[in-house]
Amino acid sequence: MIKEEEMREISQNNIKLYQNTYLSHSENRKLQQEYHEKSISEIAFQSSKALQHPFIFSVDLPTMSAVSQGATGRCWIIAGLNLLREEAVKKMNREKLPNGEFTFSAAYLCFWDKLEKSNCFLERAIELRNEPYNIRTVNSWFQYAVTDGGFWTYFTDLVKKYGVVPADAMPETIHSCNTEEMNSRLNCYIRKISADIRNAAKAGKDTDDIYAIKEQAMHRIYSFLCLCYGCPPESFAFDFICGKEKKEYTPSELYQELLEGFPDNFVSVISLPYENLPFGKPCRLDDVFQVAGMHDEVFFNLPIEDLKACCKQQLKAGIPVFCMADDDKMCVDELQLWDDKCFNYDRITGFSSDMSRKDYFQLKAGMAGHSMLITGVDIARDGQPVQWKFENSYDTEGLHKGYFTCSDSWFERYMVGAVIHKDFLKQYDLTGTAEHTFRIWDIL
């Protein structure tokens, strides 16, 4: 039997050796002064390399103006609606649109997102009511509670169930643009209701009594969301559809008129080289919010080279690409640029960042933190991408009015997944069932 080693302490001799190593490198004195005056990213940034990124793309889709997500985590809703609006305007009279622009209401979909997540959370609380708190499934579910985040399948289920409305039919509010306080109040309440459910189960209450607790809570949650977002419109006037006079639409009718069937053309694709997720197979994401009665969150797993090739084909066909990336790495906000080659952290920290993509994501060095829309790519003479263009939702101002670019090497390191049209996945068998699963904390 192998004897377990005791944890080794830091000795005074160790400290002396560490100090000698530091002092033996003369450049550390200059670096230390820089550290006292600048942030680490400022010191690591190499501006000369950033200048090698002209905002020019050989494939550049003529998309509309960027939309800001505000102080929220609803990037996936913004990116999803940005993709849908590019399809929807094909059936509109663009000359009649204000400044040729159109935007779906994000606040409308966020309202239903929060209601569906609350329902899902409380349904899960009922399901887990007799399980101990200290098992990981229960602990993780209650730890994260309702957040702003989401994925493509959940997004399309919301759209199919509730439809879409123009931005002016349900405008933004202070809480739709800044969700921290709203989320805090909502999560405090649904945790309290979850405790009521668990206590009722412990007291021997029957299923009907437990569901009565949940339904009473859902009434209050709906009212709270109306206070924060406004009441979702049941109908509205719309007059921009080609060949149609102004008329009243319900949200579902507008969806059917402009977008019926369009989301079904796409497949969620990820590129995660995990040990338990084979490439070329579908996999299911567990412990994630769902619209009850609709679809699991299923991804098709591909090597990053294949994912990149699919994105390039889709852009060449004139279709923007909804994507997910580890967005907070190697970013220069004022230049609206991501490029790993523009930063030399290894030199100024002494830390090597050499890590395989597999280790990087499995060991939690990165995560799928942000969704946006790929709208362009610059392709070199050898057919390889040089840089990519994104319709981002950080802000609508800045150097390129909210549009960002990334180097191809950044794409290969930090892109997690994308939503690909079935036409560009014909070489793969998409019909299999998702026998392999991974959990939400595997990518967050």
pLDDT tens figures, 230-260: 999 999 999 888 777 778 999 999 999 999 9
Q: 182 and 166 share a domain?
A: yes
CA dist., res. 426 & res. 396, Å (int): 36
Which of 38, 50, 54 shows the shortest CA–CA distance to 400? 54
- Enclosing H/E stretch for 378: strand 370-379
Considering 205, 232, 259, which residue would you say is the last residue of a domain?
A: 259
Q: What is the mean pLDDT of residues 402-423?
A: 96
Q: 241 and 358 share a domain?
A: no
Inform me whether the pLDDT recorded for 353 exceeds 90.
no
Q: 106 and 229 share a domain?
A: yes
For the record, the structure tokens of 429 come out as 């068998």
For the record, the structure tokens of 378 come out as 């610059």
Inform me whether the pLDDT recorded for 51 exceeds 80.
no
Q: 119 and 255 share a domain?
A: yes
> pLDDT: is 138 or 294 the higher one?
294
Q: Where are the beta strands (DSSP E) in 281-351?
A: 281-286, 297-301, 321-325, 331-332, 337-338
User: Do residues 43 and 342 touch, judged by C-beta distance below 8 A?
Assistant: no
User: Do residues 391 and 402 touch, judged by C-beta distance below 8 A?
Assistant: yes
Q: What is the mean pLDDT of residues 156-182?
A: 97
Q: Which backbone phi and psi does 138 adopt, to 5 degrees?
A: -70, -45
Give the pLDDT of residue 334.
87
Q: 278 and 226 share a domain?
A: no
Give the pLDDT of residue 248.
93
Reported as a single tens digit per residue, the pLDDT across 67-95 is 999 999 999 999 999 999 999 999 998 88
| 74 is a domain residue | no
pLDDT above 90 as % of the chain: 76
- Enclosing H/E stretch for 227: helix 207-229
| 310 is a domain residue | yes
Inform me whether the pLDDT recorded for 444 exceeds 80.
no
The DSSP code for 294 is S
Radius of gyration (C-alpha) of the chain in whole angstroms: 25
Which of 223, 265, 242 shows the shortest CA–CA distance to 83? 265
| 55 is a domain residue | yes
Q: 208 and 309 share a domain?
A: no
Give the pLDDT of residue 2.
57
| 395 is a domain residue | yes
Give the pLDDT of residue 439.
72
The DSSP code for 325 is E
Give the pLDDT of residue 80.
98
pLDDT band of 442, cuts 50, 70, 90: low
Inform me whether the pLDDT recorded for 438 exceeds 80.
no
Reported as a single tens digit per residue, the pLDDT across 366-376 is 888 999 999 99
**Which of 59-73, 155-169, 284-298, 428-442 comes out lowest in average pLDDT?**
428-442
| 437 is a domain residue | yes
User: Do residues 277 and 438 touch, judged by C-beta distance below 8 A?
Assistant: yes
pLDDT band of 441, cuts 50, 70, 90: low
Which of 147, 86, 438 shows the shortest CA–CA distance to 268? 438
Q: Which residue has the tokens 């497949």?
A: 267
User: Do residues 408 and 297 touch, judged by C-beta distance below 8 A?
Assistant: no
Inform me whether the pLDDT recorded for 306 exceeds 80.
yes
Give the pLDDT of residue 183.
97
| 24 is a domain residue | no
Which of 56, 54, 63 shows the shortest CA–CA distance to 315? 63
What domain range is 53 assigned to?
47-60+263-442
Q: Which residues lie below 8 Å from residue 353, measured CB to CB, with a gap of 6+?
A: 345, 346
Q: Which residues pair with 298 in a beta bridge?
A: 284
Mean of the per-residue pLDDT values for the chain? 93
Q: 251 and 268 share a domain?
A: no
Give the pLDDT of residue 221.
98
Q: What is the CATH number of the domain that holds 110?
A: 3.90.70.10
Which of 161, 195, 138 shows the shortest CA–CA distance to 291? 161
Q: 127 and 268 share a domain?
A: no
> pLDDT: is 444 or 20 the higher one?
20
Considering 259, 283, 318, which residue would you say is the last residue of a domain?
A: 259
Give the pLDDT of residue 133.
86
Considering 242, 259, 276, which residue would you say is the last residue of a domain?
A: 259
Q: 100 and 183 share a domain?
A: yes
Q: 54 and 105 share a domain?
A: no
Q: What is the mean pLDDT of residues 21-31?
A: 91
Give the pLDDT of residue 421.
98
Reported as a single tens digit per residue, the pLDDT across 193-236 is 999 999 999 999 999 999 999 999 999 999 999 999 999 999 99
**Which of 63-67, 124-128, 137-141, 176-180 comes out lowest in average pLDDT?**
137-141
CA dist., res. 298 & res. 153, Å (int): 8
CA dist., res. 318 & res. 320, Å (int): 7
Most confidently modeled range among 15-29, 222-236, 286-300 = 222-236
**Which of 121-125, 315-319, 432-436, 440-444 comes out lowest in average pLDDT?**
440-444
Q: 198 and 303 share a domain?
A: no
Give the pLDDT of residue 1.
52
CA dist., res. 91 & res. 130, Å (int): 52
Give the pLDDT of residue 3.
63
Which of 332, 402, 325, 393 shows the shortest CA–CA distance to 70? 393
CA dist., res. 308 & res. 76, Å (int): 20
Enter the pTM of the model.
0.93
Count up the domains in the chain and report the number: 2
Q: 244 and 137 share a domain?
A: yes
